[in-house]
Chains A and B, each alone.
Chain A
Amino acid sequence: MSTTTTTAGRTRDYPSYSRPLWWRIAFTRESAVIALLVGVLLWAIYGVLYFGTQLTMTFLFLDIAPILLIALPMTAVIVTGEIDLSVASVVGLSSSVLGLLVHHGWSVPLAALVCLVVGLACGALNGFLIAYVGLPSLAVTIGTLALFRGIAVGLLGTTAVTTFPSRWTSLAKAQIGSTGVPVIVIPIVVLAIVFTLLLHFSGFGRGVYDIGLNREAAEFTGVRVARTKFTLFLLTAAVSAFAGIYFTLRFSSSRGDNATGLELQVIAAVLLGGVSIFGGRGGLHGVIAGVLLIGALSSALRLLGVTVNVINIIIGLLLVASVVSTSVLAWISETSARRKNRGRRPSDLPQHAPPGVRTKEKEA
């Protein structure tokens, strides 16, 4: 229980830099997830019949595309220490709006543009209430989860729009040439590059981590906290709206209850990828590996004839194990460090915030 906030003034201890570079790269949460992914892929390709085929890979990407898309901005949101539970409802709303407009004779690109604008409006509402009014994001986005889903269901009622121009529905399922790689991978890769640059290689991204680690310090170092959060909620909702357009065209079905429950899958994938729910920690490479891990594992298990129920159990166990393991590893390294430094004052030791208890500066 390292709740003491005293900082040792004499020696500044950076425990992570006491190891060689290869050690620091190899022993992270992200590399663990990537290693697990590689292991699962090798096992599936050599041990599971038909997993290595082109068709399986195509469907794997078609299936995980919405989760992968939304997980990119969601990572940034969770790194700031906030959460967005309303993403699946934005997917549903975007799906409803697309169906309604196409049903009334609009062209698909124009209707899709309106969907993106609707998505931005949803994100602006979330962002305004969270960043500028200062309400807790968990509560706000549970509220907008119900609100956006309610509007989506209310717009269409029990009807479902299922007639879309075949040009667009086949585009959603199309492959690049005959490679078996679906076209949706192109926007995913583009967005992944954009978000990687934004989060890991820009001042804005550094600010995002700053906010997650210590909101007040971020404010004092000149990070525009409110504007950053607002932008992130805008981005999340816009990407969710795009995922909604894809979702609708892929299944050529627009219903208010499309993608219900997707928010929990996205968050599970992000957390599995090594992002800390308290903010300030995590990387996109881990998250992408996390999404692919869940997708590949469930696809391989389905091929083996395992039912979706067991897959649910495995994903749940993975999520719990991934979080508990961090805590256990932290505990082990803490006790081994204490043994090594016997005789020194405990406050000289590196201060790890206990994951269950938020320290003052983290929650401020």
Chain B
Amino acid sequence: MTTQSPPEAVEAPVEFVAPSRLSASQRFVATVVRSREASIVLVLVLVIVAATIASPSFLFAETSWRDLLLTPSILMLLAVGQAVVVITRSVDLSVGSVLGLTAYLTGRLFVDTNLPIVVVALAAIALGAVLGMVNGLVVALARVPALVITLGTLYIYRGIVLSWAGSNRINASDMPDAFGRLGTQSVLGLPILFLVAVAVLVAVGYYLHTARGGREMYAIGSDPDAAVLYGLPVRRRVFAAFVLSGGLAGLAGVVYAARYGTISSSAGTGIELQAVAAVVIGGVAIFGGSGTVWGAAIGAILLVTINRALPIVGIPDFWQQALVGVLILGAIVLDRILAARRARILVEARDAQGATA
């Protein structure tokens, strides 16, 4: 995948990039502006501006501001978990089924027991983590491709929720009012569920950026063989990524229950491909090792916002999926161009270094 530098280039430690002359704050701004994520933010802003010009109520009406932030929360949670898995060069296709199962568990617990909301939410997250653990165990221990295993568990988990729920449907009236209010309440103008998603995003983003485990996940994704030879705990990290993805899908199930109020056995069907799409649009390379959860989360917001903006700018929302497809293709082509440019700059820097040395 990646082009390795030839072995003879390691005679002396060569520094390719000179230390920056900018101050730390200038450097930060430059990094943010030039980042891959900035391009998605730009597209997102364009979509919102276009929709707002077509119909000012898209942004400025009381409820639409809330919806703008609230609707993407579920996909954001899934995209964050998916991004971590993809960064370690795996993929988790079972998240949609995990979401369905945990959303139904949430509703079921409210119907059958009088447990407090927090306990129910924790139970759903725990179930999601256990389901993710099954994925992780099989992938990490049996060393089989994640695509196949999670495709299998996609069927299995969905089959379980289908036989458990049957044609039952849990309605908002079956759940406590306080839980339903979670879906609509706001703090300082920001919906609670959105804040939950952002809190998760910040925690995971910080972990991936700074913690040893997070950096090791990038290392594993960019070259699994090298990671093994270097002595990184590959199995443990991949396992952890799947548990995290499952747990976040469980949390997304709780959010789903709070947001929509009605839960049937088909909740979350097909959302796994949207989560992968959000991750790809957000600039996480599908073969791991690069990208950030920030990008994945913005990708998720972009996907959901486009869905809502299209009817407003006069395009029937049937075309939404086609536009999403164009966005995904555009994102991977853009990534390829950026990667080629980066490789060229590095090669030029090396050649220049070689000429002066």
Contacts and interface: CB of A to CB of B under 8 A. Distances in A.
A140 B153 contact: no
A155 to B, nearest CB: 8
A251 to B, nearest CB: 21
B329 A267 contact: no
Most chain B beta-carbon neighbours within 10 Å: one of A83, A135, A267, A278:
A135
Nearest to B287: A136
B319 A154 contact: yes
A323 B150 CA distance: 12
B105 to A, nearest CB: 16
The DSSP consensus for interface residues of chain B is helix
Contacts of B323: 150
Contacts of A323: 142, 144-145, 148-149, 152
B324 A324 contact: no
Contacts of B91: 138
Contacts of B233: none
B42 interface: no
A271 B150 CA distance: 13
Given A139-B280, A146-B325, A327-B144, A312 B273 contact: no
Interface string A301-318: 000000111111101110
Contact of B156 (A312, A356, A359): A312
Interface residues of B, number: 52
A311 to B, nearest CB: 8
Contacts of A317: 152, 156
B139 A356 contact: yes
A264 interface: yes
A154 B320 CA distance: 8
A3 interface: yes
Highest count of chain A CB atoms <10 Å: which of B148, B149, B327: B148
A203 interface: no
B224 A312 contact: no
A323 B146 CA distance: 11
B145 A146 contact: no
A128 B41 CA distance: 29
Given A129-B329, A145-B273, A260-B270, A319 B148 contact: yes
A135 B228 contact: no
A230 interface: no
A356 B143 contact: yes
A356 B144 contact: yes
A213 to B, nearest CB: 16
Given A133-B336, A136-B332, A313-B159, A146 B143 contact: no
A327 B143 contact: yes
Contacts of A312: 155-156, 158-159, 162
A356 to B, nearest CB: 3
Nearest to B225: A3
A273 to B, nearest CB: 12
Contacts of A320: 138, 148-149, 152-153, 156
A278 B324 CA distance: 28
B156 A313 contact: yes
Contacts of B154: 264, 316
A65 interface: no
A15 interface: no
Nearest to A309: B162
B229 to A, nearest CB: 7
A219 to B, nearest CB: 15
A357 interface: yes
Nearest to A1: B228
Given A261-B270, A328-B142, A146 B148 contact: no
A134 interface: yes
B242 to A, nearest CB: 13
Contacts of B175: none
A144 B153 CA distance: 24
Contacts of B144: 323-324, 326-327, 355-356
A327 to B, nearest CB: 5
Interface in B113-131: none
A226 B251 CA distance: 43
Contact of B322 (A147, A316, A319): A147
Contact of A150 (B149, B159, B325): B325
A265 to B, nearest CB: 9
A74 B9 CA distance: 42
Interface string A186-204: 0000000000000000000
20 contacts: A138-B147, A139-B280, A139-B332, A142-B273, A142-B276, A150-B320, A267-B151, A309-B163, A312-B155, A315-B155, A319-B148, A319-B155, A323-B148, A327-B144, A355-B144, A355-B145, A356-B143, A357-B143, A358-B224, A363-B1
Interface of A: 1, 3, 83, 129, 133-136, 138-140, 142-151, 153-154, 156-158, 256, 260-261, 264, 267-268, 271, 277-278, 307-313, 315-317, 319-320, 323-324, 326-328, 354-360, 363-364
Given A157-B318, A307-B163, A323-B145, 20 more contacts: A133-B333, A136-B286, A138-B286, A142-B277, A146-B277, A147-B326, A157-B316, A260-B270, A261-B270, A264-B155, A268-B151, A277-B148, A309-B159, A309-B163, A313-B163, A319-B152, A320-B152, A355-B145, A357-B225, A357-B234
Q: Top 3 nearest A-B pairs by Cβ distance?
A: A147-B325, A150-B322, A356-B143
Interface of B: 1, 91, 93, 138-140, 142-145, 147-149, 151-156, 158-160, 162-163, 224-225, 228-229, 234, 270, 273, 276-277, 280, 286-287, 316, 318-329, 332-333, 336
